[in-house]
Amino acid sequence: MGFKSYKYAAIDIGSNAIRLLVATVNTFDNQAPVFKKTSLVRVPIRLGQDVFTTGEIGAHNLQRMIDTMHSYQLIMGVHNVEKYKAYATSAMRESSNGKQVASLIKEKTGIDIEIIDGHHEAAVIAMTDLHNFIDERKVYLYVDVGGGSTEFTLYANGESITSKSFKIGTVRLLNDMVSYALWNEAEEWIKEVTRDYDKIDVIGSGGNINNIYKSSQKSTGKPISYLYLSDYYKKLQSYTYEERIYHLNLNQDRADVIIPACRIYLSAMKWSRAKNIYVPKIGLADGIIKSIFNADHR
């Protein structure tokens, strides 16, 4: 069988940004495949701002999406990508013109966008190489925070036990569009599914927690504590938006959503009684790459 190498790409069309991940998958004889990130591009098109406030994707962001997809098509060509998948999540699935936008992008750029629901999103995220990061003897609550929704998955004994998607996202929170009742529903669900376990750790994914983890200067694989995250949350709130950009070196499209993201992670930790959060820096795009490889090698 010998050595083989594959080039795949994943496009994650989120509520806060659109990402392109190009990955190389190397196989050798009957050994486990090795997944290597080759290129990651992120464009801050906040579709959620349009959709959650007006119900549709506006003309300005539509043109930006077309330009982004055209550039991603060129990047994939330069990398000799064999296969790709483009998944759109919360913003596009709730947009009244989501299907028309996907159709127009296919016509203009050739990129085929699949709009997926929260359950599919959680399932794809669960396909990531989490087993490399988790201890099968422990229990984890995986929390993937996006602009439009948050996916929660409970892992015990190395297996996914249950998952649920809630319309609690950073862009929604910025626009004050998450009801008290929905927070309560998420709290009750997390308390219910974690009730029978003594000790739980949280695994966080999403651009915001990755950014916080990087600033903590923790060595790879080490968790950050509830106390650290709580202190950081207070620090963020003590700065103005401009001060967060300048003093904390945050991108403009990160400096506002990082505060509601912190609130979601802290809430999940509090409700599950978790003292630590691990940040393996994996997400939907990684799961998409894994799903393409698995479909090719059944």
Asked if residue 134 and residue 101 are part of one domain, the reply reads no
Q: How many residues does the chain have?
A: 298
Q: With respect to residue 124, please indicate whether it lies within any of the assigned structural domains.
A: no
How far apart are the C-alpha atoms of 59 and 141, rounded to whole Å?
39
CATH of the domain at 243: 3.30.420.150
User: Do 216 and 250 belong together in one domain?
Assistant: yes
pLDDT band for position 281 (50/70/90)?
Answer: confident
The letter for the amino acid at 214 is K
Pair (43, 157) in one structural domain? no
Q: What is the distance between the alpha carbons of residues 287 and 55, in angstroms, rounded to a whole number? A: 28
Summarised one tens digit per residue, pLDDT across range 42-94 is 999 999 999 999 999 999 999 999 999 999 999 999 999 999 999 999 999 99
Same domain as 247, residue 163: yes
Does 150 lie in the same domain as 110? Answer: no
Residue 168 has pLDDT above 90, yes or no: yes
Is the residue at 176 inside a domain? yes
Residue numbers of the domain that contains 61: 3-119+285-296
264 plus 290 within the same structural domain: no
Mean pLDDT calculated for residue range 154-164:
90
What pLDDT is attached to residue 1?
Answer: 67
Are 60 and 43 members of one domain? Answer: yes
In a domain, 125, yes or no: no
pLDDT, position 283: 87
Q: Which two tokens stand for residue 198?
A: 């003594």
Tally of domains in the chain: 2
pLDDT for position 69: 98
Is 107 a domain residue?
Answer: yes
pLDDT score, position 121? 87
pLDDT over 70 at 273, yes or no: yes
Amino acid symbol at 219: S
Within a domain: 196: yes
Pair (139, 168) in one structural domain: yes
Residue 200 resides in a domain: yes
Instruction: Sort strands 224-225 and 3-13 into parallel, antiparallel or unpaired.
Output: unpaired
The string of DSSP letters for 248-269 reads: S---TTTTTTHHHHHHHHHHHH
Q: Are 155 and 140 in contact (CB under 8 A)?
A: yes
Q: For the chain, report the end-to-end CA distance as a whole number of angstroms.
A: 16
Average pLDDT of the residues of the chain: 94
Q: With beta carbons less than 8 A apart as the criterion, state whether 224 and 212 touch.
A: yes
The verdict on 137 and 260 lying in the same domain is yes
Residue 245 has pLDDT above 90, yes or no: yes
- 148, 104: one domain: no
Q: What is the DSSP letter of 137?
A: T
Alpha carbon distance 22, 174 (integer Å): 31
Q: What percent of the chain has pLDDT over 70?
A: 99
- CATH number of the domain enclosing 115: 3.30.420.40
Say if 32 falls within a structural domain.
yes
pLDDT of residue 131 exceeding 80: no
Co-location of 155 and 47 in the same domain: no
Same domain as 151, residue 110: no
Contact yes or no for 186/169 (Cβ under 8 A): no
**276, 225 in Cβ contact below 8 A?**
yes
